[in-house]
Amino acid sequence: MNKIELLWESFHFYTGEISTHEDFHQKSFSLIDIVLQKHISELTTADFLFLKEFKRINKLLIHLYNKQNHCLLDIIDYIKNANYVPLVYDTDPKSLQSLIEINRDLIGQMQTYLHRIEKIP
């Protein structure tokens, strides 16, 4: 396996891991705002367990998005500097950079929710 193949394999690995956890994350968005709007005295054990799991998944997704972004940056660097890139791996760096920006936006949104959760005593 050459370097570009390894880079793309890493990217696909992180994409798969992200996909596995995004489902919970997306389903949780309908509940997170409801739970966060409650007064601390109204929070149930189930709410606290939900917040704990939401927090865990958010931290994991942030980690995975960062790993995926590193892979994308390495792929961009490889494509820009390689003498030859097999056609199957030759991708427009602008498209990859767009995905990095989307990931950064998602990370920012997740950090906002984590910050709100951290404020709960």
| pTM for this prediction | 0.88
The reported pLDDT for the residue numbered 86 is: 81
Provide the residue ranges of all domains of the chain, joining segments of one domain with +: 3-118
3-118: which CATH topology? Methane Monooxygenase Hydroxylase; Chain G, domain 1 (1.20.58)
Residue-wise pLDDT tens digits, 17-69: 999 998 888 888 788 888 988 888 898 999 999 999 999 999 999 999 999 99
* Packing angle of the helix pair 93-118, 45-81 (nearest 10 deg): 160
What's the rounded Cα separation, in Å, for the pair 22 and 19? Answer: 5
DSSP H helix total and E strand total for the chain: 3, 0
Pair of tokens at residue 75? 């792929």
Residue-wise pLDDT tens digits, 60-103: 999 999 999 999 999 999 999 888 888 888 889 999 999 999 99
What's the rounded Cα separation, in Å, for the pair 100 and 72? Answer: 7
Sign of CA dihedral 90, 92, 97, 103: negative
Q: Is 7 exposed, middle or buried (0-12, 13-18, 19+ CB in 10 A)?
A: buried
Residue-wise pLDDT tens digits, 95-112: 999 999 999 999 999 999
